[in-house]
Amino acid sequence: MTSYDAIVLGAGAAGMMCAAVAGQRGRRVVLLDHADAVGKKILISGGGRCNFTNIHTAPDRFLSANPHFAKSALARYTPADFIALVERHGIAYHEKTLGQLFCDGSAKQIVAMLLEEVAKAGVDVRTGQPINDVTHADGRFTVRFGDQYFTAPALVIATGGPSIPKMGATGFAYDLARQFGLKVVEPRPALVPLTLGGDDVLFRDLSGVATPVEARAGKAAFREAALFTHKGLSGPAILQISSYWRHGEPVTIDFLPGAPQGWLLEAKRARPRATLASVLALPDRLAQTLADRLALAGELGAQTDRKLADAEARLSRWPFHPNGTEGFAKAEVTVGGISTANLSSQTMVAKSMPGLYAVGEAVDVTGWLGGYNFQWAWASGYAAGQAL
């Protein structure tokens, strides 16, 4: 039985940040992970270049049953704070688009940086064994890791959510939270491709075609690229909207975002001999498919103004009816998780269980695509590390 001030379960982004901050404050910390190496999800993120933060981070870019919960941690550890850490380690980076920051080199640089911070803090890192048992008695947590036992007055759940199970992701965090009386908001896949069935199936024939759109679900809207796949819809706009989409609801797509009202009638007057497919500023296969679905064959000059106005309206609010998603296997993150109602927004500690903390993706806080989820990992990990 080895004794510490804190045990951190999960050596991902939030867990390593938490362990490093606590260790650098003089706490004796052990960091445990069942995988054979730390930071596995970090390594595959951003196409191997790690989209490590977003300079436009703001609380309204996160989903949670309590939309105010993330404000405190995000305010106390900002993108500028993490950028300063990256720069101290001499890691070159660039802004790709929409405030997304990526390593110039490799995601391995971010993992190496975190490992260096953890080592500097004197954290004991153990990997490659199952977490077999977690108990609490007399104010101390005991964890059986493989055949070893570790004990501490504080335990941090940083084991993430079930997205990307091939990386070893599971719902372990939720089981542990429930074991200690915390509620769990039903988890579902987020930042995930949508699947199409029924009348929408023919769009699968456009697999590989991408175009800028504005996608909507409920009150949420994102203007980025959509990609048709052999199963349905993907691309940044669709991944973003998937976090807001609920089963049974439509997703509407504006195929020509920014087009002025009446553009199709204007096209009829300017080019009466043209066809609808030829005036759509879209990839050819997509333009033809949409024209066929609208049943507007022949020249624009032969169409009534009413028909063209209806077509224009449909192209700006084209309804798709997804029959599901590609699930946790393809989801980048998880919506839902350990209920924020159970946690302090300042310290991430469980209100009903002193010494128990939850951080990162395990918690019911989910960011937009583009570095927001990493920023939540750094910020929530920092908050707990400061409190341990």
Nearest to 169 by CA among 74, 41, 75: 41
Mean pLDDT, rounded, of the chain = 97
Of residues 111, 140, 103, 31, the one with CA closest to residue 359: 31
- What is the average per-residue pLDDT within 112-136? 97
The C-alpha angle 33, 22, 154, rounded to 5 degrees, equals 65
What does the pLDDT average to over 262-271?
97
Spatial contact of 62 and 70, defined as CB atoms under 8 Å apart: yes
CA distance 345 to 363: 11
Gap between the Cα atoms of 292 and 375, Å rounded:
44
Residue 294 has pLDDT above 90, yes or no: yes
For the cut 90, the answer to whether the pLDDT of residue 297 exceeds it is no
Name 152's bridge partners. Answer: 141
Q: What share of the chain is helix, strand, coil (3-state, %, to 5)?
A: 35, 30, 35
Q: What is the mean pLDDT of residues 143-157?
A: 98
8 Å CB contact between 13 and 118? no
What confidence score (pLDDT) does residue 202 get?
87
CA distances from 13 to 155, 159, 286, 345, 386 (A): 17, 10, 40, 19, 16
Distance CA 232, CA 300 (A): 30
Query: What are 173-227's pLDDT values in tens digits?
Result: 999 999 999 999 999 999 999 999 999 998 999 999 999 999 999 999 999 999 9
Query: Helices 305-316 and 263-270 sit at what angle, rounded to 10 degrees?
Result: 130
Q: What angle do CA 18, 24, 25 make, to 5 degrees?
A: 90
pLDDT digits (tens, 9 = 90+) for 31-43: 999 999 999 999 9
Q: Is the pLDDT of residue 347 over 90?
A: yes
Instruction: Please report, for residues 102, 326, 339, the alpha-carbon distance to residue 370 in angstroms, rounded to integers and kept in the order given.
Output: 10, 20, 24
| DSSP class per residue in 325-363 | E--TTT-SEEEEEE-GGGB-TTT-BBTTSTTEEE-GGGB
